[in-house]
Structure 1
Amino acid sequence: MTALDLPRRASAFADQSLALDTLARTLWGEARGEGRHGMHAVASVILNRAARPGWWGRSVTEVCLRPRQFSCWLAGDPNRPKLLRVQPSDAAFALALEIAARALAGSLPDITHGSTHYHAVEVAPSWARGRAPCVVIGRHAFYNDIP
């Protein structure tokens, strides 16, 4: 390693650290009440989107922070201040960090059958009208046929 490699390595570490934190906070914000299986499923959707770059972004961080994609990041969401303050001492956030680390390491299998979209089962978004979810995990319905 040379001195020229240090900024590149530091930048890559910072990007990875930001991705881990952002993904974990998204999992916590979207599925903390769903436990390990539910957070795993949401992570699968985020990874599926990042693997197929499009309007939702080209990286895990971009996908998570894309406006109006994950309600936990909306400025008006009452849980957003909690999302920004949560610490690893919170058991659900510690679990989210574990799942996010596995996801970023490539060791988290896709349990959503390639889904790029999901919603809570108690809502009926217009984009899901006329479509059947490919899998329901906990209180979320997942779709792998949304363009």
Structure 2
Amino acid sequence: MIPFGMHCEEVALREFRAMIVQENARQIPAGQYLFVECYCDDPECDCRRVFIQVYLQPDAKRIVLSLNYGWESPTYYQNYMVWSAKLARQIAAGCLDPLSPRPAYAADFLRLFRKHALDEAYKARLKRHYALFKASLRRN
């Protein structure tokens, strides 16, 4: 997975998503969380998903957690990626990456992400960014 900005720098600088978390009863530290989109760099792969690295500003030097999201149906991921039905449903809903850091507040953060950040406009943007990224791979 390669950051979107490595192939589409101008678009990545102009079109990114962040989420501000206020003081809360949960364990989620207050602050601005920057989402860095990463996509598969295999031009032949059509996985139709994004790997989102989450950084807490202003430091933004360390990944706080990572998310996976796929905009197709769970059936697509179950068939294309030969994943279990459970994993396919998780990818289609947005899920925590099992191999990345997972702070104590990760599940609460995922719920906020799904409810407040993963709106229809952002889903459409991720899909468009995926197409731009894949097109840039084919050109290079």
Per the TM superposition, whether the score is higher than 0.5 is no
Higher-strand-fraction structure: 2
Higher-helix-fraction structure: 1
